[in-house]
Amino acid sequence: MKEILLFEALRQGLEEEMDRDPKVLVIGEDVGHYGGSYKVTKGFAQKYGDLRLLDTPIAENSFTGMAIGAAMTGLRPVVEGMNMGFLLLAFNQIANNAGMLHYTSGGNFTIPIVIRGPGGVGRQLGAEHSQRLESYFQSVPGLQMVACSTPINAKGLIKSAIRSENPVILFEHVLLYNLKQNVPDQEYLVCLEKADVVRPGKDVTILTYSRMRHHVLQAAKNLVYKGYDPEIIDIISLKPLDLGTIALSVKKTNKVLIVEECMRTGGIGASLRAAIIEHLFDYLDAPIACLSSQDVPTPYSGPLEELTVIQPAQIVQAVEDLCSFKL
């Protein structure tokens, strides 16, 4: 085990896969000699050369389309979005081509592409740089979506995503790149379709992902002090949802709280609520509670930005309200 930062874990995983498979390449803005906007590919250009680290113009639609074409011919491209918000410029390529070509070609083509990069609400990055694109892409057929939250799952997820035959979007959070954790020295993979039970408990199921995992864990300390026993699940797989793990928890606790940084309208929380109500309604002893970001563009002002995102105190209050609910 060695303590490393989350961006270093991503770099390790990507480097291991590039060493293992010469068909893996990286495409994006400043991914080569600059080393990536958050240094995930630092030193790679010198090691692998310019043909496997393709520095592109500021043209997301074009280089994402080029990567999809490369995947169709048997390569395994990793596209880095300098900021996830910029990938809205490539929405047509991701939705109409990456997600659909396997199906519309009658299975003649597979699209083993990974699209990754920083997103989420940062510290005063403004509305355009604080996008949570999981809400945009979750309805696109053919795409898989995963969100890393720790160095351990970041490394395992990027390795699994690169090896997958499906197009995978890996969501990273801009405020988690400097998170430290001990990561195993030996090679390992993390399942792209499996949730992680972070803390077993019996009183309430808290479903979360990405940065909110750490807000929930912070709130859990207060909750345990107050006598509550929450079960915390990092859903990791945003599409498809791991309803098996979620069901086992809901059947035990009978109460659900969803905590997300995504917007309330049309977000991951809305999909989770719909799935739980459809499949697990009879096991619920209280309405599903959902804490989401407000449906407003993220303000530049620091205090206003903080007000748009769920804070640990709100999680504590929501659990107390759920556990005191009477039918």
The number of CA neighbours under 13 Å toward the Cβ of 244 is 6
Q: Which is the catalytic residue, given 102, 129, 214, 215? A: 129
Which tokens belong to 47?
A: 């090691």
Residue 4, amino acid: I
Helices (H), the chain: 6-20, 44-48, 60-72, 91-92, 101-104, 134-137, 151-163, 212-225, 243-253, 268-280, 302-308, 312-323
Residue 27, amino acid: I
The number of CA neighbours under 13 Å toward the Cβ of 66 is 15
Which tokens belong to 299?
A: 């303000």
Residue 127, amino acid: A
- Look up 173 and say whether it is catalytic: no
Which tokens belong to 243?
A: 């309803």
- Look up 187 and say whether it is catalytic: no
Burial class (CB in 10 A: 0-12, 13-18, 19+), 218: middle
| Closest residue by Cα to residue 7 from 147, 169, 177 | 177
Q: Which is the catalytic residue, given 8, 17, 60, 172? A: 60
Sign, CA dihedral 127-128-129-132, equals: positive
Walk across the sheet containing 289-293 and list its strands. Answer: 196-199, 230-234, 204-208, 256-263, 289-293
Catalytic residues: 60, 129
